[in-house]
Structure 1
Amino acid sequence: MTKNHADLALFLATSGHSGVDRVMRNLVPEFARYGLRIDLLKVGGHGPYWEELPDNARTVDLGVSHVSTALPALVRYLRRNRPKVLLSDKDKVNRTALMARALARVDTRVAVRIGTTVSKNLERRGWWARHSQLASIRLLYRYADSILTPSEGAAGDLAKIAGLPMAAVTVVPSPVLTDRFAAMAEETVDHPWFAPGEPPVILGVGELCARKDFATLLKAFAELRRGGRPCRLIIGGEGRQRSKLLQLARDLGISEDIDLPGFLANPYAYMRRAKVFGLTSICEGMPVVLIEAMACGTPVVSTDCPSGPREVLRDGRYGSLIPVGDSSALAGKIAEMLDNPTSSEALSEATVPYTITNSAWRYLDALDLLKGDV
């Protein structure tokens, strides 16, 4: 490998505001501190979007606008640049990366990551989509040099689906707590509901999609308001279900007490000031926002979905777990948390594994990039 070739290439195609975006925006600067040469392979119209890159990282535009058409461009990149490791994230991108390496016939190692519980994601798809994706995972993932997931639950699920031993999947904690995290959490929030004397704010953050099930959070909030408890609800994020959620809020009679402000450039400042954070996902791989909220000192209530929340909350030690889709249970636990919040000391203790330093080291160890030959 010549000195101009990348040690690590990242092949990603995200929404620009997903958990993968946050994970990779946190990891890249930390990877760069190790002196690695990094190529960020760009698919047009997709994230991650970078405000600033380290000197030893560069963007390589593949000249395509969709993962489905990226295969030839990725093959050309691999043949010309021959990075030491290619890391991809999310299933369609992973399959493209593995096929590209096979067609390029290069010695680049391919590491694939999946941040969700695959079997739960597939439950909501049609028969053909579900079975074709299962077949491709079973066919292709065995050729990956590394398979990464953010939780034990997601790892076990993926190993079973891929027909691989559990040892073939490496659990790597998500890089949540960066050097700037505390300072960002203390930044001011330009929202009138956080003014002194205002009712407590319940917060949710994430993509407005079916998997996040914010409808359950709205129903739980409506139940709290019917019970006479003064409070407000903010859900930060963008997504296809925005109009549906706003209509549900109108149907529930809570429109005056909820706000969907869209994508939050700094969600930590909102988390720091909220009284309870609610996670209502149907499935996760490892819920980054749950860890972020806890690190901000905000008590949390979460669905006991596969997978991640139970691991983060240590079986309920650090926050309440409720059944998926159970709005009444959620309302009850939010009320309990408002009255008797988890201590900030306990929340801080729970988030220790998710520092950027620990996570980046674990990633590079899994990618075999900690040796002196990079």
Structure 2
Amino acid sequence: MNETTRSPWRLALFLATSGHSGVDRIMKNFIAALAKRPVRVDLLHVHGHGPYLDRVPTRVRVVSLGTRHVQSSLFKLAHYLRTERPDALLCDKDRVNRTALMAAAMAGYQGRVVVRLGTTVSKNLENRGLVHRTMQYWSIRHLYARAHAVAVPSHGAAEDLHTIASFPPGFVRVLPSPVVSDTIHTLGREPIHHPWFAPDAPPVILGAGELCERKDFATLVRAFAALSHHTECRLVILGKGKKRQALEKLAHELGIADRVWFPGFVHNPYAYMAKSRLFVLSSTCEGLPVVLMEAMALGIPVVSTDCPSGPREILHHGRYGPLVPVKSWNQLAEAMARVLAEPPEKEELMTAVSRYHVPSATDAYLQLLGYGASLSSTS
């Protein structure tokens, strides 16, 4: 079949994100890149969940499943797969993955199902309840084998999965996340109308992410307090979450509340990144931290905890930015001071994350999903 008569290859995306996470940004980039290719995309939507698209691109169809929870989407998803029969299905996060795999089995679906996990699972589950931990370990060990492959963003995350389940060689695939786009630079140039970002203001140190235990912004606040004793600077932490009140209280207790700002969730974090002097990741656990790559893509110096997993891979074992032990606020403060005094070259940082450019990362995902193989088989 030639290119003009072949039916467009169709990919279904089953996602249920918070609307403001790194996964949201990754999937928005992925969807935008798919829209530029001869691919039809069905974005299967659960009410109240992201990703939320400002504009739905051509070749992208939003399919409402008419449900409010992932688990209650099982039968609707099975019906969709049975009747629509897309060429492939991609989903992300465990509760979404296990629902998709059960629905595919119920529907007798013959297309490729690729499930994605963006975190280091065992580390992420350490502080979760017994039921949550048991359910996720069970689904990984007993359901994931039904998929064509499991995609993860880092080698550390892949190694962790292999300690949880006995997957065959090549089943867990490390794929670069589609993070770096031209849009980052355009959005980075937008102004911020706040005196802390004026050209002659003291340097701003930036953190960003959900205000939760895993991101450990308390360690960043403590490190900033130590740094600010001898360096004039400001700390801005973007994001919302349950830990906001505790973090604000900590800033007051440390006597730095007038130098710390929590703007909450912002639609354009890149404008803040581009105008900051330093970006700091203080997490205890990651898969492959999107914000770290985004900051480097803008040429902003970074410091990170050496958490499992991702930062060590992104920073090439510390070549492009210091790696400090998790929860070590004093070592984090020292690393922040060093980088502020002697920042690396902007171009070097940007080159270091070139493998995460959206077009090449999208190609890697499409290959795993069978896009090239499907076209070859119908040529």
Give the alignment's TM-score, normalised by structure 1.
Answer: 0.96
Alignment match of 2:215 (pick from 203, 212, 216): 212
What is the rounded CA distance, in whole Å, between the counterparts of 2:308 and 2:193 in structure 1? 35
CA contact (8 A) 2:297 2:353 kept: yes
From 297, 300, 303, the equivalent of 1:301 is 303
Matched residue count: 372
Q: Mapping of 1:42-61 within 5 angstroms?
A: 42-61=45-64
Deviation of the 1:124 alpha carbon:
0.8
Aligned equivalent of 1:243 = 245
Does residue 345 (structure 1) correspond to residue 357 (structure 2)? The answer is no
1:5 Cα deviation from its structure 2 partner: 8.4
1:56 is aligned with what amino acid? Answer: R
**Match for residue 79 of structure 2?**
76
Partner letter of residue 255 of structure 2? G
Whole-Å separation in 2 of the counterparts to 1:66 and 1:145: 25
Flag structure 2 segments of 5+ consecutive residues without an equivalent: none
Task: State the one-letter code of the partner of 1:171.
Answer: V
Equivalent pair of 1:6/1:82 in contact (CA under 8 Å): no
Query: Quick check: 1:159–1:165 contact (8 Å CA) kept in 2?
Result: no
Which of 277, 283, 286 is residue 284 of structure 1 equivalent to? 286
**Identity of aligned pairs, percent?**
53
C-alpha deviations, 1:204-258, integer Å up to 9, x for none? 0111111111111111111112x23111000011112111211111122111111
Q: What letter is aligned with 1:157? A: D
Structure 2 Cα separation of the partners of residues 316 and 114 of structure 1: 25
CA distance in 2: counterparts of 1:240 and 1:29, whole angstroms: 31
Q: 1:116 aligns with which of 116, 119, 132?
A: 119
Q: Does 1:152 align with 2:155?
A: yes
Mean Cα displacement is larger for which, 248-257 or 364-373?
Answer: 364-373
- Cα shift readout 1:257-276 (whole Å, capped 9, x = no counterpart): 11110112111111111111
SS in 1 for 2:35: helix
* 1:12 and 1:48 in contact (8 A); partners too: yes
- Rounded to whole Å, the distance in 1 between the matches of 2:270 and 2:340 is 19
Tell me by how many angstroms 1:196 deviates. Answer: 2.2
The C-alpha deviation readout for 1:32-61, integer Å capped at 9, x for no partner, is 222111000000111100111221001000
CA RMSD of aligned residues (A): 1.6
Report the Cα offset of residue 127 of structure 1: 2.9
Contact 1:184 1:269 in 2 (8 A): yes
Unaligned runs of 5+ in 1: none
- Secondary structure of 1:189's match? coil
One-letter code of the match for 2:65?
L
Separation in 1 of the partners of 2:100 and 2:9? 16
